[in-house]
Amino acid sequence: MLRRWVNKILGREQEQRVSFQEIFTLFQEILSLNNRTLDLIAEANDKLSGDYIFDRHYIETFQEETASLVHQLIYKLNLISPGKYQELNESFHRIESDIRQILAGRLLCPTDRYVLDYKEIAEKHLGEAAGGKNTHLAEIMEFLGITIPPSFAITTAAYFHFLQENGLPEKIEKIIDRWHHGETGIGEASKEIRSLILAARLPADIRKEIDMYLDAIRQAHPEKKPYFAVRSSAVGEDSEFSYAGQYASRLNVSRYRVIEAYREVVASVYSERAMEYRQSKGVLESEIAMAVACQQVVKARVSGVLYTYHPVHPEKETMEISSAWGLGAPIVSGRVLTDHFTVARRAPHEILELKVVRKQTALMPAGGEEKTEVPVPEEQQTIPSLTDEQLRRLAEIGLRIEKFYKKPQDIEFAIDENDEIVILQARQLAMRGKTLPVARELAEILEKYPVISRGRGTVAQMGIASGTVFVLENDEDLDKVPQGAILVARYASPRLARVIRKVSGIITDVGAVTGHLATVAREFRVPTIMNLEHATEIFETGEEVTIDAQENIVYEGLVRELYHFSLAEEDIEETYEYRLLRRVLKKIEPLYLLDPKDPNFTPQGCRTLHDIIRFVHEKVVEEIIDYNYHHPHNMDAVSGKLDWKFPLDMVIIDMGGGLVPGAVGTGRKIVPEQITSPPMRALLDGIAHPGAWNNEPMSVDFGSFMSSLTRTMSAETMSPRELGQNLAVISDCYINVSLRLGYHFTVIDAYVVDNVKDNYAYFRFSGGVTDISRRSRRAAFIGEALARHDFHVELHEDLVEGRIKKMDRQGMLDRLNLLGILIGFTRQLDVKMVTDEQIAYYIEKLQELLENDNHE
Amino acid sequence: MNEKRTLSILILDDEPIVSKRLKPSLEKRGYVVETFTESLEALKRIKERNFDIVITDLKMEGVDGMEFLTEVKKRSPETEVIVITGFATMETAKESFKKGVFDFLSKPFKLGEITEIIEKAEEKILSR
């Protein structure tokens, strides 16, 4: 039937009569594909909670299914308007080819910028462009407010561009091939590749950007000539952890030698050690990319290294610190004698042990390129290089970084001329202890600890956390949440996301694991259990607990063994499959095309599959309206514009029996009284429900509501053409409504007849103009309201889906009336819903409204 | 709790993530766990000793899961076999049950889902 119809459409110049039924079938298919795709994406996102076991096969299947659905969407849109959106196919193939490359292990740089400042790396999660070293420092600075040296990152986009411009990838591949085939030794291969890289020209565009950032640092510190540390910050399989120390770093480089140092660091990708390591681990050459960190050298009075745990004896609960006078390089490489301090992990960080050595020389930056070893004044040689006060500050900083990354840390620091602690590097500390508990022994140990809750609630983010409980009584107390606390709250409010970097764990009475807070908890890996019902009553502020969100257990007190166990265990989020799914989702899930008026709202502007889905949805509604209302091609469907006191700007298309005969006259206007479609009437009655706006004390009345509605609409929809986005396709038993009011979207699809078995209604709602927390709150309200009226509800951040089936005629019409009321009622609620308590309040208001209605 | 017998579990899946993820979690619950990514090696192991519970994927290189579980059941009919697969079809499910499989779980699954099945299998084993 489709083929027949396509032929018809293609030949529509000759043959004008295309049945609306056919085009509408296509429209419905698009809507249903749209919903299925978005559901599939939401499900894949849930897989990242840590609660699922999935493998590569799943990621591939997910990608294939999603791509196939999106491809069908494009195909169907192009059937409706042949040739008009052909470029969508190009965007689709571009995105899909990126995903295939990601699946094949190729590293794609998520940005095309060559240089990034740290704020951007942290805010936009550009770790895959900047590499581990850059990203950790950027996060420490941006999220924890800890001082780091002025720095910038040279991205992997620069790395790829640099190699490509010089034709190096092919040359390198040939050399590697020869080595793999035993035609050349590893030493020779490594040397050959490195000299190619060292001799290559850095493209002018990269050079220019680096110069710009170097100048900026220079200008910020005009008094002295800055020197730089140029360090490797590789991206790729296990790069941060296992490759530690395999790549080159150049310290104390003058600004004119930064480019040279950059080449040296890039060349170190092909050091013998690194090549050997990749071969032994089966890591492909294509799976490595080098970003570079460029940091201004700190004029250090003291430098050192801090371990937040004893790497062999974590049970001692100590931190280990080594330090010496001057610059840090000799300490890191172990070339000089250092003072050593052992400090308690627990505040106030008592100094347990102190070994002071005689420090006869120190490394100081000399005036020029070189650094010199200078003699240390006699009186400083035998005193500790760190004071008690500095040690305490260091310990606090170390713990904060450890809490943030949930792993013991190996931190390089310097103390500058102003006595400020500056963090130069932070990475995970490899624990090698035999005394680390193993899973087998844990079973027995854990039995001894009292359990507060087991198997109750739902895990939103896995992990293990210990800390002091803080029960949140009201939102104002959020500022009082202490560092490292276990936050216990009534609702999983998106508002709590504000303190996500401060808390060790979260427990809530109610909440959706697909909500915004869960997403944020996942992002920051904060162990979170939701729906623990009476959590706020069970737990008391000040008590110490340990959450095992792996097993969904909360223990009384600090269960050290469990925490130590988690320190040594590989994070599930760091496994290859997780990272792969995250990378793939980045090409699928984000929505960049929001505003149809944006000049980028084009097929070429689609950057993700979600963008394509959104684009198709917008255009198909537009096309249907255009085809039937603006330029009617067919006579079997009647269309007109709704003329009503509420300016919905809706085009109504009647497929049969939805309007009184002859309703649409020459003005092509339809008044509500002419609508006979029972489901449409029920919906409009709901929208026009008088009480919806009057009963509510802080609310505006309906008139001003509508004026605000018109305001937002006119602000974003300039032309009358744009206003025609609202569409209702109706018949005597069916409605399909697409509404775009402001920035939120509603889709309703319902069928109501006497045969109960055939009846259904589908409702989808998303978007809004306020921040995500208010939108999510509104979504939670709508979800709750629907659930109370027998809808099967699914919530995902600010998206609500409600389904209902097999209800009798009157029951269906009542539900549609409710949907109408909700559309009006919630129009502005996201603006008003400032706290979570309001969810319950508005639910009550809505209930009152419905009950009054019944009495009338 | 203390007189509880320690059950042994063998896990076979060619994707390492599955074992990596299941092993520590099951060990924390007190099971003794051995994991394999190569079916031939797992086959060698079941010839050496019996396991209380075997968890196996179906589609693998070399000896495929169906063959493997057939061998397990032949050697030790008492062993409860749990099948996990990303290619779940009615046919494979039927065939597995015909061969006396305890339960069938399609991937991806939640940790809670498989532990629940393991607990049921454990109940059955301990009631014998």
CATH number reported for the structural domain that contains residue A147 in this entry: 3.30.1490.20
- Nearest-Cα distance to chain B for A295, in Å, is 37
Residues of chain A neighbouring B112 (CB-CB closer than 8 A): 51, 552
Position B93 confidence tier, pLDDT thresholds 50, 70, 90: confident
R_g (Cα) of chain B, nearest Å = 13
Structure tokens at A44: 């894949």
DSSP code string of A250-264: EEEEEGGGHHHHHHH
Q: Which residue has the tokens 């869960």?
A: A518
Same domain, A212 and A249: yes
Structure tokens at B53: 């519970």
- Nearest-Cα distance to chain B for A566, in Å, is 10
Inter-chain residue contact A442 with B28, CB threshold 8 Å: yes
Say how many domains are in chain A: 5
d(CA A685, CA A689): 6
d(CA A227, CA A369): 8
Same domain, A406 and A363: yes
d(CA A827, CA B103): 49
Listed residue (A400, A519, A427) closest to A238, CA to CA:
A427
A433 part of a folded domain: no
Same domain, A130 and A253: yes
Same domain, A463 and A535: yes
Q: How many CB atoms lie within 10 A of CB A468?
A: 16
Q: Which of A296, A315, A341 is the last residue of a domain?
A: A296
Q: Which residues does residue A372 pair with via DSSP β-bridges, in sequence order?
A: A364
Q: How many CB pairs under 8 A join A and B?
A: 71
Distance of CA A854 to the CA centre of its chain: 45
Inter-chain residue contact A52 with B109, CB threshold 8 Å: yes
Q: How many CB atoms lie within 10 A of CB A84?
A: 13
Residue ranges in A145-251 assigned as alpha helix (H)? 156-165, 168-180, 186-199, 204-220, 239-242
Listed residue (A430, A406, A400) closest to A525, CA to CA:
A406
- Burial status of residue B90 (CB atoms within 10 A of its CB: 0-12, 13-18, 19 or more): exposed
Return the pLDDT at A193. Answer: 96
Inter-chain residue contact B110 with A438, CB threshold 8 Å: no
Residues of chain A neighbouring B58 (CB-CB closer than 8 A): none
Closest residue of chain A to B1, computed from CA coordinates: A447
Return the pLDDT at A846. Answer: 81
Same domain, A688 and A738: yes
Half-sphere exposure of A349 (CA within 13 A, CB side): 22
* Nearest neighbour of A51 by CB, restricted to B13, B29, B111: B111
Same domain, A593 and A555: no
Are A655 and A24 in contact, with CB atoms under 8 Å apart?
yes
Same domain, A714 and A794: yes
Q: Which residue has the tokens 């001082």?
A: A147
Q: Which of A278, A296, A314 is the last residue of a domain?
A: A296
Which of 75-104 (B) contact A at CB < 8 A?
86-87
Same domain, A222 and A122: yes
Q: What is the CATH number of the domain that holds A380?
A: 3.30.470.20
d(CA A244, CA A852): 69
Residues of chain A neighbouring B15 (CB-CB closer than 8 A): 55-57, 577
Return the pLDDT at A444. Answer: 80
Low-confidence residues of chain A: pLDDT under 70:
1-18, 223, 236-245, 281-282, 329-335, 365-371, 433-437, 514, 630-636, 665-667, 691-725, 741-744, 767-773, 797, 827-834, 852-856
Inter-chain residue contact A53 with B28, CB threshold 8 Å: no
Inter-chain residue contact B17 with A552, CB threshold 8 Å: no
* Nearest neighbour of B27 by CB, restricted to A54, A439, A447: A439
A180 part of a folded domain: yes
d(CA A394, CA A305): 10
d(CA A115, CA A127): 13
Same domain, A789 and A655: yes
Same domain, A726 and A778: yes
Q: Which residues contact A704 (CB under 8 A, 6 or more apart)?
A: none
A628 part of a folded domain: no
- Burial status of residue B64 (CB atoms within 10 A of its CB: 0-12, 13-18, 19 or more): middle
* DSSP-based three-state secondary structure for A701: coil
In Å, the largest CA–CA distance within chain B is 42
A105 part of a folded domain: no
Q: What structural domains does chain B harbor?
A: 8-126 (3.40.50.2300)
ipTM above 0.95? no
Same domain, A132 and A271: yes
**For chain A, what percent of residues have pLDDT higher than 90?**
38
d(CA A454, CA A538): 13
d(CA A515, CA A780): 9
Strands (E), A408-485: 409-416, 421-428, 451-454, 458-461, 464-471
Residues of chain A neighbouring B21 (CB-CB closer than 8 A): 53, 572, 575
Same domain, A264 and A119: yes
Q: Is the peptide bond before A697 cis (omega within 30 degrees of 0)?
A: no
Q: Which of A266, A296, A326 is the last residue of a domain?
A: A296
Q: What share of chain A is helix, strand, coil (3-state, %, to 5)?
A: 45, 20, 35
Entry field: residues in chain A:
856
Residues of chain B neighbouring A440 (CB-CB closer than 8 A): 27, 32
Buried b (16+ CB within 10 A) or exposed e, A24-46: bebbebbbebbbebbeebbebbb
A737 part of a folded domain: yes
Q: Which residues contact A372 (CB under 8 A, 6 or more apart)?
A: A363, A364, A366
CB-based contact, B52 to chain A, within 8 Å: no
Listed residue (B119, B54, B56, B116) closest to B86, CA to CA:
B56
Return the pLDDT at B34. Answer: 95
**Interaxial angle between packed helices A156-165 and A204-220, expressed in degrees from 0 to 180 and rounded to the nearest 10:** 140
Are A783 and A800 in contact, with CB atoms under 8 Å apart?
yes
- Burial status of residue B91 (CB atoms within 10 A of its CB: 0-12, 13-18, 19 or more): exposed
A14 part of a folded domain: no
Residue A481 domain boundaries: 439-569
d(CA A502, CA A57): 37
Q: What is the CATH number of the domain that holds A531?
A: 3.50.30.10
Are B97 and B104 in contact, with CB atoms under 8 Å apart?
yes
Q: What share of chain B is helix, strand, coil (3-state, %, to 5)?
A: 45, 20, 35
- Burial status of residue A685 (CB atoms within 10 A of its CB: 0-12, 13-18, 19 or more): middle
Residue ranges in A104-180 assigned as alpha helix (H)? 118-123, 127-144, 156-165, 168-180
Buried b (16+ CB within 10 A) or exposed e, A146-185: bbbbbbbbbbbbbbbbbbeebebeebbeebbeebeeeebe
d(CA A269, CA A162): 14
Measured between its terminal Cα atoms, the distance across chain A in Å is: 50
A340 part of a folded domain: yes
Are B96 and B66 in contact, with CB atoms under 8 Å apart?
yes
A9 part of a folded domain: no
Listed residue (A81, A169, A6, A145) closest to A501, CA to CA:
A145
Inter-chain residue contact B107 with A444, CB threshold 8 Å: no
d(CA A365, CA A373): 9
In Å, the largest CA–CA distance within chain A is 106
R_g (Cα) of chain A, nearest Å = 32
CB-based contact, B128 to chain A, within 8 Å: no
Measured between its terminal Cα atoms, the distance across chain B in Å is: 18
Q: Which residues contact A519 (CB under 8 A, 6 or more apart)?
A: A45, A797
Return the pLDDT at A249. Answer: 84
Return the pLDDT at A302. Answer: 93
